[in-house]
A and B are shown apart, each in its own frame.
Chain A
Amino acid sequence: MHLAETANTGFLFLAPWLVFAPALGLLINIIFGGWFMKHSWGENAVGIVASLASGAAFVISVLLTWSLAANHGEVARWYLADWIHIGTLQIDWTFRIDSLSTTMMLVVSGVGTLIHIYAIGYMHEDVRFKNDVGRYSRFFVFLNLFIAMMMILVSGDSYLMLFVGWEGVGLCSFLLIGFWYELDTLGRPSWANSNAAKKAFIVNRIGDFGFLIAAFIMFWNFRSLQFDQVFEAAEGVAPGVILAITLFMLVGVAGKSAQIPLYVWLPDAMAGPTPVSALIHAATMVTAGVYLITRSAELYTLVPQAQYIVALTGAVTALFAATIAVGQYDIKKVLAYSTISQLGFMVAAVGMGAFVAGMFHLVTHAFFKALLFLSAGSVILGLERGHHHLAHAHHDENSRGKRKEERGEGTREEGEHFDPNDMRNMGGMRKTMPVTFWLYMIGTLALAGIVPFAGFWSKDEILLDASRHYPFIYWLLTIAALFTAFYMGRQIWMVFFGEPRHEAAAHAEESKPIITVPLMVLAFLSLVGGALNLPFEGFHNLGHWLEYTLHEVETLPLDYGVAGISTVLALAAILLAWLIYGRNPLRSGETDPLKRRLGPIFTGAENKWFVDEIYHAIIVTPFVKTSQFLADVIDGRFWHDWFHETVIAGTYNWISNIGLDRYADQRGIDAVANGLGSLAQWLSATLRKVQNGFVRSYALSVLLGVVLIVGYLILK
């Protein structure tokens, strides 16, 4: 009996360590990080502790998955602690281990660990280019905190626990976007990075407001926030309630997963170091919204209207962001808009009820987008190395005598500000950085959806589901996929082919193995990730795995028509990109060839269709004006100057000066006190005359007293 129980729970007892392992790592780095950094081996120690902490979370995820599989996907819970007990509301810190949460755990901790390892190499150079080596350990503390928070998010058993993680990852996102808070993306002193961090936080706050409202409606109607209890109760209430819950939840999803209209924070979030862009703003955190909808599948399937709105939001975002990506020059901004677009694909998928396709794309996207971002980071580092090299060579030639006084000043002070993110400064880098080039190619092909890379299978499954049920959305997504292939082709031709457009690109150096090896693992996963859920009879592995949680899963066979159209379109788009950017490579200082042909349309895409400006005009500026009005006129002049100073303080002063001081105090209380004193003086002055020292007058007093007493006794 006891043995059987042990066998059933398996490794379930390890569930809390999903959170505690990264938490332990971050504590070690908080407490000992400063001491580590005093030694030559300090950076490696910090990085290894953080990577081991994240790796431990991955191992635990694998063990939990194994236990779950051995148990036929039976949902398992591991109660850790009481949290809120108020009346009938009972919310505990319970870990929920089912096929959906383990899938997320594996992606988060797996990709997260690879990015930790990559960051050891990346941050080593980044802190040196920015002249603040001491900040190295802080980065890994934040990364571990992020892993811990993400684990709370995916393993929570109630909407409230999920929300705790949801806010926690938002905090980590804020901290890491603003990691170089006193600089801008070019390393100049500025508040640009911290403004980007604030923007991300504030826009997410709008989304969180929607999530909270959804949670409040749930609590009001179901008296519970635990997933199973909510789903059970959901069938008994009016569809209008569920519609409200799901649509408010969509606001939260739009914030966290960067969908229209709240996507604007994600491109700015690229101000964070590249591993952050890969981990938080591409692979994991931004997919939390997709996870939330999948987790709430039972609510969304009750209201088809909400599903359609979700799908439409996703599809429009996918297309809109893809058009912007075409017009960007910043290598990371292209990938950022690509991420928004791909998140749009996922949201559209889960909106259509194709939860497996959405989750499948989430997993493969985590692989290839992390790969692309990290490779882009490698390119950026290569350029910085090239630029650094040039600056020093330059230095040696021209100012040999001045070296002494300028020693220790980094590239930051070199005058001209070189942007290592700008694709117009790149070109021809396949020769200088061959490993990165091939890794980038794999990521690009996976993202563009070319057979047999992972992205092909997952994107195709989404398109297939859309073509069956929602033809309009299918066409939106297909066009978005066409744009995807085009902007990735443009990027490849601009970055890696042609001639170097800047000396830094010509002198770029390949990155070290600590950076390229994690990329190779991700490249391998991007190559074979499609095997998770091949659309053939006998496969559909991910579908069957998620069926344990989602109950009804539609497994569609491969449709050669849909797959053929998307592949042909992708290849055509890449060919078009070659015609425009590959055949006649861009030269230094030249205008983008597409801009020459499309003119204002390209300018629109380049300027993000002026969405930020529109938001600024219709939301930010009126908001600031209103705040100023409220602060100055209402609060300052009306409440403070007039109401508080004049009315309250004035009345108080008047009452105390005139009423209380002059009348009550001076004439009332003082008069009584002084009167008592005067009376005592008068009495003593009068009575002292009685004590005159003449015995006979005393005798007379005695006589009078006797006469009085006797008289009283006789006459009474």
Chain B
Amino acid sequence: MVPVNYYIVLSAILFTIGVLGVLTHRNALIIFMSVELMLNAANLAFVAFGSAIQSFSGQIFVFFVIAVAAAEVAVGLALIVEIFKSKRSIDVDQISSMKG
């Protein structure tokens, strides 16, 4: 059996990759995918801890997260499509009309 530490380290690595993806890329789709990566890193940590403490609650949380992520993708992709329609671009740095 693989120790839980390994899963957590993998989860942390995946999360960090996601964070760096969000912070460094300007393409909205890639940011979107990086966010998915971070969500799934968290899912991995949930499942790993759930199995480590012999509890289902971790897996139940993961189902909720997947459901919410699906909803998020639906809303987020719709927003990106609308933004692309108006700006002809999905570069997030172009979308700065809220600048103070």
Contact = CB atoms under 8 A, between A and B. Distances in A.
Interface in A677-714: 687-696, 699-700, 703
A690 B96 contact: no
Contacts of A687: 100
Contacts of A689: 100
B99 A696 contact: no
B92 A694 contact: yes
Given A694-B92, A696-B92, A696-B93, A703 B98 contact: no
Interface in B59-100: 92-93, 95-100
B22 A696 contact: yes
Contacts of A696: 22-24, 26, 31, 92-93
Nearest to A692: B99
Nearest to B20: A703
A695 B100 contact: no
A690 B99 CA distance: 9
Nearest to B95: A695
Contact of B96 (A688, A694, A703): A694
A688 B99 CA distance: 8
B98 A691 contact: yes
A692 B100 contact: yes
Contacts of A695: 31, 92-93, 95
Interface string A356-382: 000000000000000000000000000
A693 B23 contact: no
A703 B19 contact: yes
Interface residues of A, number: 13
A553 B26 CA distance: 134
A389 B97 CA distance: 116
Contacts of A699: 22-23
A270 B98 CA distance: 104
B19 A693 contact: no
A688 B100 CA distance: 5
B98 A693 contact: yes
Interface in B5-60: 19, 22-24, 26, 31
A700 B24 CA distance: 10
A693 B97 contact: yes
A680 B100 CA distance: 16
Contacts of A692: 96, 99-100
B72 to A, nearest CB: 15
A693 B22 contact: no
B23 A694 contact: no
Interface in A291-334: none
Contacts of B24: 696
Nearest to B100: A691
A691 B98 CA distance: 8
Contacts of B100: 687-693
A690 B98 CA distance: 11
A703 B92 contact: no
A694 B92 CA distance: 7
A688 to B, nearest CB: 4
Interface string A146-176: 0000000000000000000000000000000
A688 B23 CA distance: 21
Contacts of A703: 19, 23
A694 B93 contact: yes
A699 B25 CA distance: 12
A689 B26 CA distance: 20
Nearest to B28: A695
Nearest to B22: A699
B46 to A, nearest CB: 17
A465 to B, nearest CB: 117
Given A694-B92, A694-B93, A695-B92, A700 B23 contact: yes
A696 B26 CA distance: 8
Contacts of B99: 691-693
Nearest to B35: A699
A696 to B, nearest CB: 6
Contacts of B26: 696
A476 B81 CA distance: 139
Contacts of B93: 694-696
Nearest to A689: B100
A411 B42 CA distance: 129
Nearest to A697: B23
Contacts of A693: 95-100
B76 to A, nearest CB: 12
A704 to B, nearest CB: 11
Nearest to A690: B100
A687 B100 CA distance: 9
Contacts of B23: 696, 699-700, 703
A260 to B, nearest CB: 103
Contacts of A694: 92-93, 96
Contacts of B95: 693, 695
A692 B99 CA distance: 5
B28 to A, nearest CB: 9
B11 to A, nearest CB: 14
A693 B97 CA distance: 6
B15 to A, nearest CB: 11
A458 B100 CA distance: 117
Contacts of B97: 693
A694 B96 CA distance: 6
Interface string A661-688: 0000000000000000000000000011
Nearest to B34: A699
A280 B3 CA distance: 133
A703 B23 CA distance: 10
B31 to A, nearest CB: 8
A43 B95 CA distance: 108
A421 to B, nearest CB: 106
Given A693-B95, A696-B93, 5 more contacts: A689-B100, A690-B100, A692-B99, A696-B24, A696-B92
Interface of A: 687-696, 699-700, 703
Please give me the 5 A-B residue pairs with the lowest Cβ-Cβ distance, nearest first.
A691-B100, A693-B99, A693-B96, A688-B100, A695-B92
13 contacts: A687-B100, A690-B100, A691-B98, A693-B95, A693-B97, A693-B98, A694-B92, A695-B92, A695-B95, A696-B22, A696-B26, A696-B92, A699-B22
